[in-house]
Structures are given as structure tokens and as C-alpha cells.
Structure 1
Amino acid sequence: MDFTPEKILLIQFRQIGDVLLSAPAAEVLKANFPGAKIDFLTQAPSNQALERNPAIDEVLIYENGKPLKWLFEIRRRRYDLVIDLMSNPRSAFVTAISGARIKAGPAYTYSAWAYNLKLKLGSGQREYNPFFKIDLLSQLGLTRVFYPYPKCYPADEDLAWAQAAARDLRKADDHRPSGGGTKDEDRKLIAFSPASRRITRQWPAEHYARLAALVVQKTKAAVLVLWGPGEKALAESIVRMAAEPGVMLSPETATLSKLSALLKQTELLVANCNGAKHIAQASGIPTLGVYGSSRPESWTPPDDPQHQVVRNYGLACIACQKSDCAQALKCLKELAPETVFAKLEHMLGRAALK
């Protein structure tokens, strides 16, 4: 690229985890073009993943059903460089009509028509999603290429709310008899995020319940079952099936900022391949990912002992990346809670939990 852009637009419409994992691209671009205005086009509620990010000047929230509005709005802003990180038909179309001098995106066959700078896909690129995107951006001729992890920036009021909520939860956790050696305020909280948009990524609720019971029966930790909009019934069922006082329902985390803030009060998150796992990683919290159809290499920071994976390695169809299953979800249903607990126990350190 033979010029220095003054206005840059990144495009990733959804999902909230994917948008969060795209944010490091803005950090790299800001380091290379410190004088440029860097905007990000996304949709609600995924815009929450970009709030208070110092590398992004403005977050634009795309509205469905108003394509002409956005056609004129993007062209009016006169971007020099538009980078399509999503590369689906809609994001490719917005890139194509942007009027930008450079329209860049991955050279997939179905979207390459939209770009005058086709970013080549090759075997040398890193698989972890944020790093893969940065490898694509390196083809812009960047002088500084580095690989930052995603970061969350919860609001101060949410950090204060989470501290108070965690304090109250620890006081409510009376599952150990008095004299058990751990004060309420020192009780470790292990968070669970059991929801997923895809059945091929959702470990069964009864398995989460059994794992929660194992945690409170065999360690000094308590379990906090997280839930957001539309997820309360699932979380409540896990608390009910666990039938242990130390397995508690979290307060609702209706925003990414609240979820990030509450996660910062916990020791570790056990989760499916979902947005909460990415938010925990971006909040500096260790994660244990329970994987079925998805590839952990794409969604887990590489070579980082704080972020571990457990899955049913014995199945030939593991990591099929499908949204439905002809094998009765064996990869998830046959992954025993005891197997996951062994991994969790190793991560936390047995001596600290006895």
C-alpha cells in the first residue's frame, strides 16, 4: 500500500465474540497509522465489544432494513481504507460501495469481487482468530506487526457493581460448616457459562450440574452460574439439578461491561465455545473451554496455560464445525463431568483447593 490513510473503516457486523476478537486489528492499525481516524462498523449488541476501546475513534451501528441510509453514510465519510473483516455478502457489498481508495478483504471466492486489495489466504497464517486477522492486515505493508490479545474495558460503575455483587454472593455461600478454614470473603468463585447459540457447542445442562456439584463437594470453591438475556431458565435448571448450596445463580449480566466486570471477580470460567469465554479471556480471567464441533485452535489463545481446552478426543468427527449432528452429539454427551473436573482441578491447583 503506497499511501498513508487518514480515515480507516473496519467492518465486522456480528457476533459479539467475533467483534471482540476483531478489535486487536484496530490496535495494530492505530500503531501503524497514529494520525488516522479508525472507525468500526458493526451491529447491536455487538457494539458493546468495542466500548471504551482506545484504538477505535467511533463505533457505527448498522441498522437492518436501511441499506440506502448506510450506502450514503459510508460514502459521505470518505474513508481512504475500508477493511472487511467479516467477508460475507452484506459486508462485501458495503465495502464495494464505500468509495474508498483501498477496499481490502480476504480473498474468498464468494466475496473477492468487492475488493481491489485481495488479502491472500495461506498456510503461514496463525489460526487463532485475532492473530489470523492481523496476519491478513500485514499484507497492507505495515511497518509494525504485533499480536495483542483482545481486551475488555468495563465501565467504572459496573466494576463497582460487580465487587458488591461478588461480596454478597460470598456471604450467601454457606455450603461449608463454620471453621472450615476459608473465610467467606476469601471464597474462590468459579464461573460457568453454559449457554450457546448452537446445539453442537452446548455441553448438556445435566453435565454442568454434575460438574458444579463436584466443585463444591471436593474443593473450597463455590460455583456461579452466569446468565444473560434469554438464558435464565437454563442457568436455574443447572443450579436446581446441582442441589448444592454452593452452586449459585449469578445476577443478570445484561451487558458485556457487566459480564466482564463480574468475571473479574472470579477465579476461572468454564464455558462452551461462546462469547462469554472470549470476554473472560479479554478480561484477564483463565478459561476452560468445553469443545464439541468447533476448533479450539481458532478460538483459544495459543500456548497459554491460563486458557485450556477439554473435548472428546476419541471421536473421528470431533471439530466437525457443523451446526447440526448426525452422531447424536456424542462429542458433548459422552464428555464426562469427571473428565472436565480433572482438568479444572489441575488448572486451579489441588493444594490451593483442599
Structure 2
Amino acid sequence: MTGATILPAVVPVAGPAVVAHGAGDLRIEQVPVPVPGPDEAVVEVAFGGICGSDLHYWLHGAAGESVLKAPMVLGHEIVGTVVRAAADGTGPAAGTPVAVHPATPGDGPGRFPAERPNLSPGCTYLGSAARFPHTDGAFSRYAVLPARMLRALPAGLELRRAALAEPTAVAWHAVGRAGDVAGKTVLVIGSGPIGALAVAVLKRAGAARIVAVDMHEKPLEIARAVGADDLLHGTDTAAIEAVEADVVIESSGSHHGLASAVRGAVRGGKVIMVGLLPTGPQPVLISLAITRELDLIGSFRFNDEIDHVITALADGTLAADPVITHTYRLEDGLAAFATARDAATSGKVLLDFRPKPE
């Protein structure tokens, strides 16, 4: 067990949380701790990573087409310690450090492959306003979560490092969509947290050459630290096209990045689109993709990849630590969000939910 925790005799009825009330309205406030159901555990949250979707809810009151209609607790990249196990006996015991798989696959209109529950139309995610009532997240001192979401952490895996499990699973899934990358040249467009984590996953998977692209120096510095062989500025179109990558991971989430991905792929190559572009029509170099016979492949969230990520973080085969650039205490949450917003100076920004040491 990592990070021994003194278990509270009684879980408080309320605790501090990060709540988005609307565009530009983010508050640190007390929220009730729900009464757990038979299959739910209470987790004392230690760390939470700020995701791009959290930033969108704060800045715009929406993430894509998911619009805030009521205050919502943010956060889905979390780790902590079980302080009350599920009453039905499922899931980890009290005292177990855990990471969280934040998805709940669900039924809904539309078909999807049974082995890919991330595509289920009724799927919900912690900290999402896609449906109403919204699905509260877990940026709170105490989170009540279904036991099936909890993943026990191996001995020796520190909670701070384990906070990368969820975003790394997104990157792992994206790399997996490309197939075997061993011995191949891979171009990563956008070296923010997901792009940098993709670099780390690609390095572990045996890619022969990894070229990272970004508009800012700090993300490129992080990409180098986790395994990128070469770095390019996003405006250097000629150099990007000259890479002729077997696989391109597009993680910028912009049509400019997608254009660079198409240009930088070798004829017959694959472009994995993990960066979520804004809703609505987007300009794409589709004629070039057609004449080069490129495979344009979508990548959305993940399935069981988080289990492989946790193992790799624990055994040291996945070097992801440099992606974490800042850690703020919960009471400084507004400053944390401001830092996370600045892609030129930050990578993954963590919130520390642990009580102040006395």
C-alpha cells in the first residue's frame, strides 16, 4: 500500500469541491457528500488532474455541445484512498489507494461494437454536462463512486504519479488505434499533456523515431523529456511534411493541426485523431488524404487501457513524470485553473485535495 492514510471514523456530511456554475464562474465551495449506495465506495481524494474539458466548462460554460444547465462538480482524473468500501463487498477494501475509471457505459439509441463500450451512446463520464441532470465529477475532498470504477494501485506506485493514469489511458488508446508502432516513424502534433503522454507511450511501444510538434517551447521541452527524438515548431510546414511519418497522432484539437497531420503522413500512412475539434464543420485537407490513401482514424477516451497504464507506471516502463509541471492545493484551485489554461507555460496541473498538515 502506498501513502498510508489515517481513515476517518466518520465520513463528513459535506466537504470542499471545485464547482462550475457557468462561464467564468468557478468556485471552491462546500458540497454534500452523498449517501453511498450498496455498490458504491467513499474515496478520500488525494490528487486530481485538470483536463481540457474542465477548462472549457470554466471558460465557456460548455465543453463542445455539453452545456452547463446547473452547477456541476468538475473533475475525472483522480486518485485517492478508499475510506469506506462498498457495502455489497465489491471493489477494493477500506485503506486501498485507487485510481478511477470515470466512464459508465450505458444503453441508448444506436449500435456500437460490444467490445468497445467507450462508444456506447448512453455512456456517461464523471464531470460531464452531456446529460441533465449532469454527472458530477470528483474534484472534491470525498467522492462517492461506484466500486466498479476503482482500480487498486500496486505497492510502490505513488498517488501523485498515479494521477496520470486516466489521461495516459487516453493516449494509450490512441496509440493502440494505430496498431503496432514498433520500428516506425511517428509524428505527434500537439505536445500538450495528451500529446506528451502519447510520446511516452510510443517510446515504451518501441517507435523508432518520434517527432513532436507544438507552437510553444514548454510543451516541446516536456515531449523531449518523455522520449521525443526530434522537435518541430508548428509553423514549420516544410519540416513537418518532410517527416513522412508512418503514423501521426493528432492531439492539438485544431484544424490547423489536422492539416499538419495530413501533410506529415507518408503515403499510405495512418492519422490518429485524438484531439477533439470544435463541433460543426471543419476545414480538412481531404483531397490530399484521399490521393495519399491515408487512414484517418478516430480515437475517443478508452476502455480497459487504464489497467495497463497503472501497471506500466508502477513498474517504471512508462516514463511520464515530466508531464506534471504544477501542483496546487485545493484552496488555490482558481490559480491552478489559470495556470492550466496557459499552454505555453504548463503541462499537467494537479490539484492536491489532501488536508493541510497540522
**TM-score bin, normalised by smaller chain:** 0.3 to 0.5
Which one has more relative contact order, counting CA pairs under 8 Å at least 6 apart? Answer: 2
Higher relative strand content: 2
Which of the two has greater helix per residue?
1
- TM-score scaled by structure 2? 0.35
Larger radius of gyration: 1
